[in-house]
Amino acid sequence: MALPYASEALEPVISRETLGFHHGKHLAAYVNNLNGLLEGSGLENATLEEIVCKAQGGILNNAGQILNHELYFGQFGAPKADNQPVGLLAEAIVRDFGSFEAFKEEFQKKGATLFGSGWVWLSADKDGKLVITQEANAANPVQKGLKPLLTFDVWEHAYYLDYQNRRPDHLAALWQIVDWKVVGERF
What does the domain layout of the chain look like in residue ranges?
16-74, 87-186
Any idea what the Cα angle at residue 95 is, between residues 138 and 145, rounded to 5°?
30
**Cα–Cα distance between 105 and 93 in angstroms, integer?**
12
Rounded Cα–Cα distance for residues 70 and 74 (Å): 6
Predicted pLDDT of residue 124: 98
- Residues 16-74, CATH architecture: Orthogonal Bundle (1.10)
Please tell me the predicted confidence (pLDDT) of residue 28. 87
pLDDT tens track for 100-122: 999 999 999 999 999 989 999 99
pLDDT in tens, the chain (187 residues): 788 899 999 999 999 999 888 887 878 889 989 999 998 999 999 999 999 999 999 999 999 999 999 999 999 999 988 889 999 999 999 999 999 999 999 999 999 999 989 999 999 999 999 999 999 999 999 999 999 999 999 988 888 878 899 899 999 999 999 999 999 999 9
Please say whether the dihedral angle defined by the alpha carbons of residues 41, 47, 50 and 51, taken in this order, is positive or negative.
positive
CATH number, span 87-186: 3.55.40.20
Q: Return the DSSP state at 4.
A: S
Please list, in sequence order, all residues whose beta carbon lies within 8 angstroms of the beta carbon of residue 61, skipping any fewer than 6 positions away. 137, 138
In the chain, % of residues over pLDDT 70? 100
pLDDT at 182: 94
pTM equals 0.92
Pairing of strands 130-136, 147-153: unpaired
